[in-house]
Chains A and B, each alone.
Chain A
Amino acid sequence: MSASSWRPPDGFVEVDSALAGISVYAPAPPPDDVAPPPDLRCERCGAPAAYAPGEHALVCSACASKSTIGATNVSVEEGKAEFRVATLDEMKRGWGASRTEVHCEGCGATVVVEARAQVTECSFCLSTHIVAQGASQEQLRPSSVLPFVVDEAGAREVISGWLREGKYQPVGLPRAIQSLHLQGVYLPWWVFGSTIRVQWHCEVKVTRGSGDNRQTYWEPRSGTERIGVSGDLEPAVNDLDERLVDQLYPFPLAQAVDFAPEYMAGFQTRGPTVNLPVAFARARHRWRDQAHAAAQSKLAGQSHRNFTSEITYEGERWQYVLLPVYIGRYRFKDDWFDVMVHGTDARVVGHKPLDARAFQKRAALLLAPGAALWTAGQILQEGFSRHTSLSTWGLIVSAGVGLYLYLDWQQAKKAGGPS
């Protein structure tokens, strides 16, 4: 074939060659979909459109017409990247200076803000129809996103129901829904995966023989365990209440789709504030403790000593994903309380004030029968049965009720008590 009639295969572009007389064609780089912001206006009337949770579509704020978003479901595992030294070095250099462009669909203004800044509305027209156009660094671009399924009205409704729940809630708490500030936010998470190889060594106590010939030895033992970890989530922001964030798990990562800016329309997006190596070190801390425990579990029931283990990670991979969360605050009396709603299953996690007087009333009501029994026994001074007096039964009932009340109070605090 002559060089003049040769044509490069589809999708290949000419790249620099280090030698004269030899041309080199490489696969075309993926389109830079960070730079050009998509047109998020309604095709029919031109009004700003926003992502409609659960519908994979943009809905016009004026005429309510819908346009489907052409994103595909992705496996979060497939998109994971290796810990390339070059990428990590680049991150260390540029992390602190990363910026995000925020584009207002209402007035068309573009605002450049720090990637970590929480921006909920346009500085110019106060519209909430803003979209992050992308970070300045390619590696900060999320590879996939889990779209909102729950809309804001639904989130408000579940919070309202949540405020009405509870035995010890103060009177008037359900009315605090009126003070609720709620914002749908795509929060960044790092997703990690790896194969963990644990090589362990120890000495196990072995007894041989019987009777006078019974002897005990310490025999060396060793083994190797392989543990696969995938889809392990580590938050990429560190300024949220960890207790609440921990209650948001799990997220249905199987429903994640390729990152598309359309999903951000009408929602706020946060950039990572926790460095990738720092987040991975946290994940490894968890893994190694689990791996060490898994190795030790192989010796369950055996006396052993000098247990040591060496953990080697293989095929470590990471991915940067955006997960949907409604973040809100409501006011009750003079205090503000945080609340979050899971963006796909509408689970509510948050803090609630507890009314000590409500607890006291309930305690008094439930303890009354026991107290009455004890009092009756003291007055009558006669045995209820041959073995147990009436007063003793009163004490037993009171103690049982007291234990129940204690556990109930602890549960109420855990479910939403103040931080």
Chain B
Amino acid sequence: MTALPSTGASWGVDHLARACAACQCRWLLPAPQATQCPWCGTTGTLSEASFRVPAPEHIRTNAASREAVARTLRRALARIPAALRPPDLDPRRLEDRLRAVFVCRWQVDSDVHGSWSCQAGFDYDVETHRERRVAGGWDVQKINRTHIDWEPRHGTLARHIDNVPAPALVEHRRIESVLGPLDGDDHRPYQPGDVAQGAVMLPNLSQAEAWNRAQDSLDEEITQLVQAACGAQHIQNVKIDARYDNQNWTLLLTPLWTTHYQDSRGAIRHIRVHGPSGAMRGELCADHKKLTLARWGTRLAAVALGAVGVWNPTGLIPPPLVVMIAAMILFLGPRLLPESAKLDNQTAG
């Protein structure tokens, strides 16, 4: 019995295979980074792991460079005054922790043989009229409406279908819902140098486990092909009775950027960036103790200002004006202090 490899030699890189006990992710990490989980940010939870996964076939283009992500983070961080930030929320630390992570998904190539049936919908225009009574006469307006002619179609198929997507991670749906699609046409052939500095999240869904989703994707692809073959504009009630032979499973890598910080309550907060689109997700939170102090300080200052205004020792400024300013500070001041800066609408790159 041959022992499974624990390095990324088969991928052309000298990474180490590790498993995180905290988040259950399996990684291929550069040796210097093999102490901290790039996803959950915990240290000391990584253990040696083995893997047998073929080298990826494609890798998506990373539109967000490290510099662009760092620049965007600094800009977002500027919205929270330095005095209100938790100690760990420091631009230099965030930048130091910024890591390239590659998330994978399966791509399936398959021969498809079988039969199908559907209702193919063909658009056609129908002429109709609208008539309006205007000044004793009738204003006639001709209107064209598009209707759909549904017709039954049957047929056979014998095709080879390439690169049908299927999830490779249990967290696939959650990651996609948060960050964006892990599938796209903006990819190129995999080169080992692409992941030399990054961590690769290895599949935790086997091909057998991912097959149901792959078959759904294949059927979706077949549905589109059948619609195109029929020359139809719409399709419904598709039934496919097919055999999927000569399957070839490969991986597609989607680049992400990830960094994290510890907030004032001790929780780790993650900031992630979807590489192909540059979309950022995360939140930069102020230190809640410092924020509370600042709010009370503002309120006390406002009360003091109001008292001075009423006392009016100089007689230069009318007391009502001072009281009004003090009241505004009292009520608005604490609300103007930023609690957090959300990154969800930010794009790096």
A residues with CB within 8 A of B: 1-3, 6, 8-9, 12, 17-19, 21-27, 82-86, 88, 284, 288, 292, 307-314, 316
Cα–Cα distance between A305 and B132 once the two chains are bound (Å): 17
Cα–Cα distance between A7 and B125 once the two chains are bound (Å): 34
Cα–Cα distance between A316 and B129 once the two chains are bound (Å): 9
A288: B residues at CB distance < 8 A: 131, 138
Q: Decide if B113 is an interface residue (CB 8 Å cutoff).
A: yes
Q: Decide if B208 is an interface residue (CB 8 Å cutoff).
A: no
Q: Across the interface, name the chain A residue whose C-beta is closest to B127.
A: A83
Q: Decide if B181 is an interface residue (CB 8 Å cutoff).
A: no
Cα–Cα distance between A284 and B125 once the two chains are bound (Å): 20
Q: Across the interface, name the chain A residue whose C-beta is closest to B222.
A: A22
The answer to whether B229 touches A19 (Cβ under 8 A) is yes
A17: B residues at CB distance < 8 A: 155, 229-230
Instruction: Taking A19-B228, A86-B124 as given, write out 7 further A-B residue pairs in contact, using a Cβ cutoff of 8 Å, ordered by the A residue number.
Output: A2-B243, A21-B157, A21-B159, A83-B127, A310-B130, A310-B133, A313-B128
Count class of interface residues, chain B: 20 to 34
Interface segment, one of B145-153, B194-202, B211-219: B145-153
The answer to whether B131 touches A310 (Cβ under 8 A) is yes
The 6 lowest CB-CB distance pairs between A and B, nearest first, are A22-B229, A3-B156, A85-B125, A21-B159, A19-B229, A6-B115
Q: Across the interface, name the chain B residue whose C-beta is closest to A314.
A: B128
Q: Across the interface, name the chain A residue whose C-beta is closest to B132.
A: A310
A2: B residues at CB distance < 8 A: 113-114, 243
The answer to whether A25 touches B155 (Cβ under 8 A) is yes
Q: Decide if B68 is an interface residue (CB 8 Å cutoff).
A: no
B residues with CB within 8 A of A: 113-115, 124-134, 138, 144, 147, 151-159, 225-226, 228-231, 241, 243
Assuming the contacts A12-B154, A17-B229, A21-B159, asked whether A1 and B130 have C-beta atoms less than 8 A apart, the reply is: no
Assuming the contacts A1-B241, A2-B113, A18-B230, asked whether A86 and B153 have C-beta atoms less than 8 A apart, the reply is: no
Q: Which of A83, A292, A307 has the most CB of B within 10 A?
A: A83
The answer to whether A3 touches B157 (Cβ under 8 A) is yes
Cα–Cα distance between A82 and B149 once the two chains are bound (Å): 11
Assuming the contacts A12-B154, A22-B159, asked whether A85 and B144 have C-beta atoms less than 8 A apart, the reply is: yes
Q: Which of B131, B228, B241 has the most CB of A within 10 A?
A: B131
Assuming the contacts A17-B229, A18-B229, A82-B126, asked whether A311 and B131 have C-beta atoms less than 8 A apart, the reply is: yes
Assuming the contacts A9-B154, A17-B155, A288-B138, asked whether A22 and B226 have C-beta atoms less than 8 A apart, the reply is: yes
Assuming the contacts A85-B144, A86-B125, asked whether A18 and B231 have C-beta atoms less than 8 A apart, the reply is: yes
Q: Across the interface, name the chain B residue whose C-beta is closest to A24.
A: B155
26 A-B pairs within 8 Å (CB atoms) are namely A2-B113, A3-B113, A3-B156, A6-B156, A18-B230, A19-B228, A21-B158, A22-B157, A22-B158, A22-B226, A22-B229, A24-B155, A24-B230, A25-B153, A27-B152, A83-B126, A84-B126, A86-B125, A284-B129, A284-B131, A288-B131, A309-B133, A312-B128, A313-B130, A316-B128, A316-B129
Q: How far is the CB of B118 from chain A (nearest CB, A)?
A: 10
Q: How far is the CB of B298 from chain A (nearest CB, A)?
A: 56
The answer to whether B127 touches A85 (Cβ under 8 A) is yes
Assuming the contacts A19-B228, A84-B124, A288-B138, asked whether A26 and B133 have C-beta atoms less than 8 A apart, the reply is: no
B243: A residues at CB distance < 8 A: 2
Give the residue of A3, A83, A284 whose beta carbon is less than 8 angstroms from that of B114.
A3
Cα–Cα distance between A218 and B228 once the two chains are bound (Å): 60
Q: Is the interface of B mostly helix, strand, loop or mixed?
A: strand
The answer to whether A22 touches B156 (Cβ under 8 A) is yes
Q: How far is the CB of B339 from chain A (nearest CB, A)?
A: 52
Cα–Cα distance between A63 and B316 once the two chains are bound (Å): 132
Assuming the contacts A19-B228, A22-B229, A27-B152, asked whether A308 and B126 have C-beta atoms less than 8 A apart, the reply is: no
Q: Across the interface, name the chain B residue whose C-beta is closest to A16.
A: B231
Cα–Cα distance between A86 and B122 once the two chains are bound (Å): 13
Q: How far is the CB of B33 from chain A (nearest CB, A)?
A: 47
A3: B residues at CB distance < 8 A: 113-115, 156-158
Cα–Cα distance between A17 and B144 once the two chains are bound (Å): 29
Cα–Cα distance between A84 and B228 once the two chains are bound (Å): 24
Q: How far is the CB of B123 from chain A (nearest CB, A)?
A: 11
Cα–Cα distance between A94 and B156 once the two chains are bound (Å): 39
Q: Across the interface, name the chain B residue whose C-beta is closest to A315.
A: B128
Give the residue of B124, B138, B154, B158 whose beta carbon is less than 8 angstroms from that of A25.
B154
Give the residue of B129, B134, B151, B156 whose beta carbon is less than 8 angstroms from that of A27.
B151
A316: B residues at CB distance < 8 A: 126, 128-129
The answer to whether B153 touches A24 (Cβ under 8 A) is yes
A284: B residues at CB distance < 8 A: 129, 131
Q: How far is the CB of A80 from chain B (nearest CB, A)?
A: 13
Assuming the contacts A6-B115, A9-B154, asked whether A24 and B229 have C-beta atoms less than 8 A apart, the reply is: yes
The answer to whether B128 touches A23 (Cβ under 8 A) is no
The answer to whether B129 touches A313 (Cβ under 8 A) is yes
Cα–Cα distance between A284 and B127 once the two chains are bound (Å): 13
Q: Across the interface, name the chain A residue whose C-beta is closest to B161.
A: A21
Assuming the contacts A26-B151, A310-B133, asked whether A18 and B158 have C-beta atoms less than 8 A apart, the reply is: no
Cα–Cα distance between A310 and B134 once the two chains are bound (Å): 9
Q: Across the interface, name the chain B residue whose C-beta is closest to A85.
A: B125
Cα–Cα distance between A100 and B27 once the two chains are bound (Å): 80
Q: Which of B115, B147, B228, B241 has the most CB of A within 10 A?
A: B115
Cα–Cα distance between A8 and B156 once the two chains are bound (Å): 9
Give the residue of B128, B152, B159, B228 whose beta carbon is less than 8 angstroms from that of A83.
B128
B129: A residues at CB distance < 8 A: 284, 313, 316
The answer to whether A292 touches B133 (Cβ under 8 A) is yes
B126: A residues at CB distance < 8 A: 82-85, 316
The answer to whether A26 touches B229 (Cβ under 8 A) is no
B124: A residues at CB distance < 8 A: 84-86
Q: How far is the CB of A78 from chain B (nearest CB, A)?
A: 17
Q: How far is the CB of B162 from chain A (nearest CB, A)?
A: 13
A85: B residues at CB distance < 8 A: 124-127, 144
Cα–Cα distance between A23 and B225 once the two chains are bound (Å): 11
A21: B residues at CB distance < 8 A: 157-159
